[in-house]
Amino acid sequence: APAIHRADYQAPAWWIDTVDLTFDLDPAKTRVLNKMRLRRNPDVAAQPLRLDGEELNLARVMVNGGGTSFKMEGNQLVLENLPEGTEPFDLEIFTTCAPAKNTQLMGLYVSQGTFFTQCEAEGFRRITYFLDRPDVMASYTVTLRADKALYPVLLSNGNLVDSGAMEDGRHFAKWVDPHKKPCYLFALVAGKLVAREQKIRSRSGTEHLLQVYVRPGDLGKTEHAMNSLMHSVAWDEARFGLPLDLERFMIVATSDFNMGAMENKGLNIFNTKYVLASEATATDTDFGNIESVVGHEYFHNWTGNRVTCRDWFQLSLKEGLTVFRDQEFSQDLAGSPSARAVKRIEDVRVLRTAQFPEDAGPMAHPVRPDSYIEINNFYTVTIYEKGAEVVRMMHTLVGREGFAKGMKLYFERHDGQAVTCDDFAQAIADANPTSDLARLLPQFKRWYSQAGTPRVQATGQYDAAARSYTLTLTQSCAPTPGQSTKEPFVIPVELGLLSASGAALPLQMAGESAAGAASRTVVLTEPTQTLTFVQVDAEPVPSLLRNFSAPVVLDIDYTDAQLLTLLAHDADAFNRWEAGQRLALRTAINAIADSAYATSASGIFDHQVLGADFVEAMRSVLRNPALDAAFKELVLTLPSETYIAEQLDVVDPQRIHAVREAMREQLALALQTDWERAWEQNQDTGGYRPDPVSSGRRALSGLALHMLCIAARRTGDVVWPGKAYQRFKVAANMTDRFNALTALVASGSELAAPALARFHALFKDEPLVIDKWFALQAGAPDRGGNVLPAVRQLMQHPDFSLKNPNRARSVIFSYCSANPGAFHRADAAGYVFWSDRVIELDAINPQVAARLARALDRWKKLAEPWRSGAREAIARVAARPDLSNDVREVVTRALA
Ligand code: DPP
Ligand code: ZN
């Protein structure tokens, strides 16, 4: 397939004002009658009407009630003899499709006997012929007809205006959406569902009905989703003045879903993973994810639906902004500054372990891409998470109030329109005319056009005689595919200075008459800038990029002593955590590079590499009564293997794995008594609540148990594995139970096998829990190559299915994308397995297959023999003549 270019955008030659759809739902053959009212766009030169369609059977086309000529060109239905002039006319198209055979889960499909739709980005064309592009916005009326016994609930967007019985046990429901929308926001659901309902009143006094639809047995697991939805409605009104604009807002859960969830107007469709939760079946992480995904989809109602994207190159217009909004929502709900910092650290960890590698690999693309082959491949961490960082920088540059003013102007200007990233940035800048953003807007927008992660190199020079401290900050950005040179970015750097003993120093820059606050934001715009601080009594410790104020890599040569000072004293919680990560990373990288440290034939790296200072610093954090448990858990968790690999030019995944395991064991052994105390002091008291404080306590006690089991493996102790097994058996919630199970599995305890068997027996009727059971085993640490055979075995398990995306992800992705130590085998068997699964999945579901294909994005960094093995596996996939566009694009770019 040819690439599509952003520069080729043209307004549609036709508008569709109204759409009247009638569905006769049948899994084998659903009939779709599509009556549209169209008119020519007078601003565009006359051309034939070209409607997109895929896997449809066309039965009839009529114009103004009469026959018409038409032809097919590829997948497009082309009509040339349409009425002249700009008067609207009626076009009626009758097609059929086969939802039961739809394994791609795009368009109309059946999951467990229920009909669902997924239309973003280009699924609507699999339902009917249409102008399947987001800048064509129409008013929809939808009539659903189906067997009443099999499909008692019939839902679509907007308001239910009519319903009733029909002949032969069938019934109908008619829905009218009061808002115009692009077709990617169309949805229908039909099946046996029940709903939790909640009436709410908005600030203006309007009443709304909130509903969460699930399968009958799942109603008891919907309370948290409903609470999250109510919080979302209240938050958007309070923080941005954006009310719910519908009488009825529905969420429906399905167990077969490619993505996390979808923001269809008034009828959000969710992966069950982001709806269903009870303390017995869901972990704290699940509860947190549900809150943020429910928020995310709800916030799309304004940022995405009321104002949508002109074309798919603008995807980050809605996704980056909406991720920023859901991150802020979760932080505001978390409450305390410490809980906010924990959420920020978690978000940055995702950015750095997933987006930074993407930005440095073959799929690197700007936040607003210039071209794509398959749009489904561009629902990426760059569009979402880096896009959110770009919005966050705007927020930093104009301030919280200024940003709210900018949002207000954005909606005043663009409500009801399909617009671009430029329109958004312009509105935020125009609402804040004296801000740095307004002053620097064209340069700031390089964040939208240039791919790659910028690096900022910082060096400090203290001049004792002048009592001044000069920081030199130099920015650069490596080439990315198609972009060989980069212009300087606008980089907000929030910073402070600490004395050697850790006191926050008031900041006074050269030319300023007095000292100011101890933290400020400096905006970098030049390749190199120097900042001179005066009235500095002794060499300070710089704390840069506080709260991760820009999505960049900060290169700075701290001494260990400086990092220890930051870890112990920085007023910025993010940089405290970061200092600990830098210390651990430095140790890991040095040990990996040091040939004096040999790895045994069986791959064991048995050396003490952590310095006493580091161990003692970790002990102080663990013992510090002033720090929250959630924060301690983050500090005491070593950088991931993926993150370590990203820092290296040549990657030996086995050595990284071995070194990190050795570091963890050393930390486990050296802090044993402190881990015991952390375990004892952070036990749950009272009932389960997924709030930040109690979930932080569970996270820390879970890590402690894990470390104690790791230590036990070395010491031969049987007490802690026994305690872990006991906790696993009696735990009152899934978080504690799963943490205990993880400790047993990850430490290789003999009790892991009976625990896994018991876990499966307990939860055999809970698919989301069984996903965890699969994922834990596929993600287990490798012992002599045992994981791959275990993964093959898991695929033979009666509960395994390649067709269910959650299940496929739980086994295959957990192994290929989340278990580097087991996946990167010297014999390349992991890669062969990967290529088989990509090919196999591609025939079922190209979107999921293309995600899996990305597991080898960074193959060029691998050392031999992995590098050759990986290239061969990718080439093996690429050699298939029958690949989807999705997988073809990924492997072609990987091999380029
Ligand atoms: N469902 C995806 C999301 O909400 C795509 N819009 O991000
Ligand atoms: Zn989204």
> Average pLDDT, stretch 378-392?
99
The whole-angstrom separation of Cα 852 and Cα 887 is: 9
Strand positions, DSSP E, 464-515: 468-476, 491-498, 504-505
Q: Which atom of ligand 1 is nearest to the CA of 319?
A: 7
Q: How confident is the model at residue 603 (pLDDT cuts 50, 70, 90)?
A: confident
Q: How confident is the model at residue 778 (pLDDT cuts 50, 70, 90)?
A: very high
**Does 649 have pLDDT greater than 80?**
yes
Any idea which ligand is nearest the CA of 259? 1
Nearest ligand to the C-alpha atom of residue 321: 2
Task: Report how far ligand 2's centroid is from the alpha carbon of 380 (Å).
Answer: 11
Residue closest by Cα to atom 3 of ligand 1: 262
Q: How remote is the CA of residue 382 from the centroid of ligand 1, in Å?
A: 14
What's residue 714's pLDDT?
Answer: 94
Nearest CA, atom 7, ligand 1: 319
With H, G, I as helix, E, B as strand and everything else as coil, classify residue 100.
helix
Ligand nearest the Cα of residue 185 is 1
- The residue to mutate among 308, 318, 379, 383, having the most atoms of ligand 1 within 8 angstroms of its beta carbon, is 379
Nearest CA to ligand 1 atom 1: 262
Return d(Cα 582, Cα 563) in angstroms, integer.
8
CATH of domain 763-896: 1.25.50.10
From 273, 254, 102, select the one nearest 189 (Cα to Cα). Answer: 254
Given the structure tokens 């990092």, which residue do they identify?
563
CA 318 to ligand 1: nearest atom: 6
CA of 875 to the centre of ligand 1 (A): 31
For the four alpha carbons of 857, 862, 867 and 869, in that order, the dihedral sign comes to: negative
Rounded to the nearest angstrom, the distance between the alpha carbon of 412 and the centre of ligand 2 is 22
Model confidence pLDDT, tens digit, residues 199-255? 999 888 999 999 999 999 999 999 999 999 999 999 999 999 999 999 999 999 999
For residue 317, the ligand closest to its alpha carbon is 2
Report the candidate in 233, 271, 249, 448 with the shortest Cα–Cα distance to residue 848. Answer: 271
Which of 116, 263, 264, 275 has most ligand 1 atoms within 8 Å of its beta carbon, as the pocket-test mutant?
A: 263
Ligand 1 centre to CA of 258 (Å) is: 10
d(CA 131, CA 8): 17
From the alpha carbon of 384, which atom of ligand 1 is closest?
A: 7
Q: Can you give the residue ranges of every domain in the chain?
A: 308-449, 455-556, 763-896
At residue 684 the predicted structure's pLDDT band, cuts being 50, 70 and 90, is: confident
Q: Which residues contact 790 (CB under 8 A, 6 or more apart)?
A: 777, 778, 780
Which ligand 1 atom minimizes the distance to the CA of 262? 1
Q: Which atom of ligand 1 is nearest to the CA of 296?
A: 4
Least distant ligand from the CA of 120 = 1
Give the pLDDT confidence score for residue 344 in this predicted structure. Answer: 98
Q: Would you state the pLDDT for residue 599?
A: 85
Residues lining ligand 1, Cβ inside 6 A = 120, 259, 261-263, 296-297, 300, 319
pLDDT of amino acid 203: 85
Cα–chain center distance at 469? 40
Query: Minimal CA–CA distance to 866: which of 836, 822, 813, 896?
Result: 822
Q: Atom 4, ligand 1: which residue's CA is nearest?
A: 262
Catalytic residue among 122, 297, 358, 641: 297
What is the CA(318)–ligand 1 centre distance, in A? 9
Residue with the smallest CA separation from ligand 1 atom 5 is 262
**196: pLDDT strictly greater than 80:** yes
The pLDDT assigned to 329 comes to 98
* pLDDT, mean of residues 109-130: 99
Please tell me the distance between residue 321's alpha carbon and the centre of ligand 2 in angstroms.
9
Q: How would residue 601 be classed by pLDDT, with cut points 50, 70 and 90?
A: confident
Supply the residue whose CA is at minimum distance from atom 2 of ligand 1: 262
ipTM value of the model? 0.98
pLDDT category of residue 606 using cuts at 50, 70 and 90: confident
- 379 CA closest ligand 1 atom index: 5
State residue 72's pLDDT score: 98
Pocket perturbation via mutation, ligand 1, pick of 106, 119, 259 by most ligand atoms within 8 A of CB: 259
Please report the sign of the dihedral spanned by the C-alpha atoms of residue 150, residue 156, residue 162, residue 166.
negative
Pocket of ligand 1, candidates 297, 309, 318, 327: which has the most ligand atoms within 8 Å of its Cβ, to mutate? 297
Q: Which atom of ligand 1 is nearest to the CA of 300?
A: 4
Task: Give the phi and the psi of residue 498 in degrees, each rounded to 5.
Answer: -115, 150
DSSP 756-798: HHHHHHHTTT-HHHHHHHHHHHHTSPPSSS-HHHHHHHHHHST
Residue nearest to atom 6 of ligand 1 (CA): 262
Ligand 1 atom index nearest CA of 323:
7
- Domain 455-556 CATH superfamily: Aminopeptidase N, middle-beta domain (2.60.40.1840)
Cα 381 to middle of ligand 1, angstroms: 12
Q: How far apart are CA 511 and CA 789, in angstroms?
A: 67
DSSP assignments along 435-451, one per residue: SHHHHHHHHHTHHHH--
Query: pLDDT-based confidence at 791, cuts 50/70/90?
Result: very high
Q: Which atom of ligand 1 is nearest to the CA of 293?
A: 4
**Average of pLDDT values for 826-843?**
98
Distance 331 CA to ligand 2 centre (A): 18
Q: What does pLDDT average to over the chain? A: 98
Query: Between the CA atoms of 588, 592, 593 and 598, what dihedral angle is there, to the nearest 10 degrees?
Result: 130
Mean pLDDT lowest for which of 303-312, 353-362, 593-602, 663-672? 593-602
Which ligand has its closest atom nearest to the C-alpha of 318? 2
To test the pocket of ligand 1, the residue of 185, 292, 316, 319 to mutate (highest count of ligand atoms within 8 Å of its CB) is 319
Determine the pLDDT at residue 379.
98
Q: Is the pLDDT of residue 859 over 80?
A: yes
Q: What is the pLDDT of residue 672?
A: 98
pLDDT at 602 > cutoff 80:
no
Q: Per-residue pLDDT tens for 473-531?
A: 999 999 999 999 999 999 999 999 999 999 999 999 999 999 999 999 999 999 999 99
* Helix-then-strand count for the chain, H and E: 30, 33
CA 130 to ligand 1 center in whole angstroms: 21
The SS3 assignment for 66 reads strand
| Interatomic CA distance for residues 493 and 476, integer angstroms | 15
Tell how far the Cα of 259 is from the centroid of ligand 1, in angstroms: 7
Q: Can you give the pLDDT at residue 324?
A: 99
- Across 794-814, b (16+ Cβ under 10 Å) vs e yields bbeeebbebebbbbbbbbbbb
297 is catalytic: yes
> Distance from the CA of 387 to the center of ligand 1, in angstroms?
14
Percent of the chain with pLDDT over 90: 98
Asked if 40 contacts 13 with a C-beta cutoff of 8 angstroms, the reply is yes
Cα 783–789–791 angle (5° rounding)?
100
Question: Closest ligand to 187 CA?
Answer: 1
Q: What pLDDT is recorded for position 822?
A: 98
Architecture of the domain defined by 308-449? Orthogonal Bundle (1.10)
